[in-house]
Amino acid sequence: MLSTSTTGREGLSGAEAAIRLRRDGPNTLPTGKRAHPLVLLAKQLVHIFAVMLWVAAVLAHIAGMPSLSVAIAVVVLLNGAFAFAQEYRADRAAQKLRDLLPVKTKVLRDGRPVLVDATDLVVGDVVLLAAGDRVSADAEVVDLAGLAVDESMLTGESKPVRTQRGSAVLAGTHLVEGEATAVVTATGARTRLAAIAALTGRATRPPSPLTLRLNKVVRVVGFTAIAVGTTFLGIAVLLGLPPIEAFLFAVGVTVALVPEGLLPTVTLSLARAAQRMAGRNALVRRLDAVETLGATTFICTDKTGTLTRNEMSVVTVWTPIGEAKVEGVGYDPAGEVVGSEAVRVRVRELAVSAARCSPVAHVEHRDGKWLPVGDPMEVALHVLAARSGAEVPTTAEVKHPFDPRRRRSSVVDADGVHVSGAPDSVLPLCASTTGAAEAITTLADSGLRVLAVARRRERRAGDDTGWEAAERDLELVGLVGLQDPPRDDVTSAIESCRTAGIRLLMVTGDHPATARSIARQVGLLGPDELVLEGAGLPQDEAELGELLDRDGAVVARVTPEDKLRIAKALQARGHVVAMTGDGVNDGPALRAADIGVAMGASGTDVAREAADLVLLDDHFATIVAAVELGRATFANIRRFLTYHLTDNVAELTPFVVWALSGGSIPLALTVLQVLALDIGTDLLPALALGAEPPNPKTMHGKAPTGALIDRTVLVRVFGVLGPSEAVVEMGAFLGVLLAGGWALGRTPDAELLTVASGTAFAAVVLGQLANAFACRSGSRTVAGVGLRGNRLLGWAILVELVLLLAFLGVPPVADLLGGTFPSALGWVLAACAVPAVLAADTLHKSIRANRRATRAAVG
């Protein structure tokens, strides 16, 4: 550690530190007011869909159906508990920020170095820092030696910062090289880290597209149920029913029209999709984020670690006698230098000099991986030495550490002087630099970071007195081109995004030239090659949105506030925004975006906790796979919504016929039979439709942004599938009654009515069986889709048939519901629902296909 005499400080006394601690409080981040878990659970029980079911449960109790009331309440409670369990950890991002602070830190107290709890640091404390330490409070550097600080978790800048005296080191960063003495300037809530925590806490998630769409569905269904119930109340009174009986009948109709099975179907469908995403390395932290992914229209992606591997490596070496390419993977020392023998010899010499200037950096093999220790760029120089076959001495007599003012470092040993650093700081010290300027331009234009290496082959008197004497009369050994290479699958993933109509924006804290190069390499950069810096972004949100609402732009040198503004500006223009990130600085934007995507392997806890989706493998391509499953989920929700609504048409028809006939035609279904259809026979097939695999064309064209119930769904439900079921249902019911001797206007025998009612119930169930297969595709017929491809649906249909037999064949259940086993004629008539539904579906889809073909031919 540096000698404390050079700082002129002895640190605070223990007494003074205690006074300041009482005055300023502990060095902890403000936690803010957090919602109690019971409050989070309650939110799952009082959203608009749940409220509609609670009202239905109350009405069922009023109508004298306590068992139904309990059943509906259980559905709401179980669904709420399941959703709560899935999302419990989604709101803890700010709290995780505290994990970035170390438990202990070394300070000077009463002139002696001591270890104290990080929470006990106060303003004015003298902190002693060494490589590997994490900074626990904002501080000003007063003395240093070869200091390099990794600020990537705060700024997004992947290159360690070379800090000088008078500069600040910030809480949450850590030292990758060197040592320093610093004086604490801010603690706790006054640190930069706390400011980011506050941003994360203030950022609110917008309601998901699915939430908005489902709320609209609930409002429509709820209004319809109330309107129909009120209408039947009036009709019942007009037909002579006593007011109390008429009211209970209307309540029963209203409850029957509420789709009790829709809420658990949606929740379990999203959970199923989340499970499938986890199998593809995408962990969903909020269930409604599944569908939001499918609606994504704009992805704002980080560069380092997302599009690139976050691994610095030497790829090109230029020497005055020729150029060589370096092959290898990551930090694995295995690899080779490709070039002539003379050039390879020169590269070995260069690698020795470069590695001698970075004696601390090295690689370690842990858990089957080669991992860097120290500055990633300097580690890459040691890997170059290994790949070139060079032996690097481990001792040096005199070291002149890197200084941000001169931007180079040097080492003096028995062989002479070795120097490495920025080309414009090293080349002026060399006797000959022929060809170097052109080589630097070529390497930089390729997006590489360029490092110059020089040496003097003899040691002179005075070389150990200071860098001014040592770094003179040098020979340029060569130039090193380093890069953080793009991930192998990024280019194809970007192409898939564009095929899907998704716009891309690179948002990074890195240098504009580096960002431009990577964007160009992976195919992200747009034709206008727009590259902006965060400091130059318009302050007006509308102007910012208009500027960035294009495909393939790049914004470099961004701050956390910039990322937050970008997300909001694009949302204001109607985009569903996905924001990727891995650092602390990404937390606020991840939380405010429609879908926050964090890196699971290399990201921070803060980013993961703020995000809706965590990429377990850090691959950008995983986002594309998740978007595909999200779009498939939206299509599946439409599928089982069509399935449910078709059933509602068949359920409502008997009440409409009864009302229009003035009571001359008995009710074909009882209220309890309707409920048995909703939360009994229909539930499993609907869930199976929610697990339908993605269509091959799911990622072709823009994201679906329309309502869940659009014109296409309405036509299929009320013009095709629903009427076909209803016609067979009523035909089978009336056929059994007429065959049993009933005449219009007469009250049928009770036993005959239960048989006819059982027949109508069977017709609806069998019609829904065919409807399940019809709903697998909105454009292809059942014959075109086939019966395979969804094993869950096959099992669901089998269970549906078993439930049909149980509801009609088990006497206590049949007596409760009001329908018994159909006669032979009844089964034949009920079975007609299957071909009727399939024929109507096939005819409708064929007509639509012909119309599309005609429009395409005309166009």
d(CA 355, CA 389): 13
Number of Cβ within 10 Å of residue 211's Cβ equals 16
DSSP 8-state symbol, 438: H
Q: And the tokens for 813? A: 């259940």
Q: Which of 27, 36, 149, 65 is nearest to 817 (CA)?
A: 65
Residue 21 is inside which H or E element, if any? helix 14-24
**Contact by Cβ (8 Å): 450, 431:** no
Select from 789, 753, 783, 755 the least CA-distant residue to 770. Answer: 783
Of the residues 125, 138, 150, 302, which is catalytic? 302
Hunting for tokens 């097939």 — which residue is that? 685
Joined tokens for residue 30: 């403000």
CA distance 43 to 47: 6
| Rg of the chain over all Cα atoms, to the nearest angstrom | 36
H/E stretch holding 105 reads strand 104-109
Backbone angles phi, psi at 781, to 5 degrees: -75, 170
Task: Tell me how long the chain is.
Answer: 859
Nearest CA-CA partner of 692 in 144, 269, 409, 194: 269
Spatial contact of 551 and 495, defined as CB atoms under 8 Å apart: no
CA distance 216 to 232: 24
Helix (H, G, I), strand (E, B) or coil at 844: helix
How far is C-alpha 25 from the geometric centre of its chain's CA atoms? 37
Give φ, ψ of 674 to 5 degrees. Answer: -60, -45
Distance of CA 784 to the CA centre of its chain: 34
Residue 477, burial from CB neighbour count under 10 angstroms (0-12, 13-18, 19+): buried
Q: Cα 56 vs. chain centroid, distance in angstroms? A: 35
For residues 186 and 280, give the distance between their C-alpha atoms in angstroms, rounded to a whole number: 44
- Bridge partners of 183? 126, 140
Question: Tokens standing for 256?
Answer: 């029957």
The sheet with strand 595-599 has its strands ordered as 282-284, 613-615, 595-599, 577-581, 298-301, 503-507, 553-556, 531-533
> Which residues, in sequence order, are bridge partners of residue 115?
106
Q: Is 302 a catalytic residue?
A: yes
DSSP-derived secondary structure letter, 134: B
Q: How far is CA 247 from the centre of its chain?
A: 49
Alpha carbons 675 and 261: distance in angstroms, whole number: 9
So which residues are the catalytic ones? 302
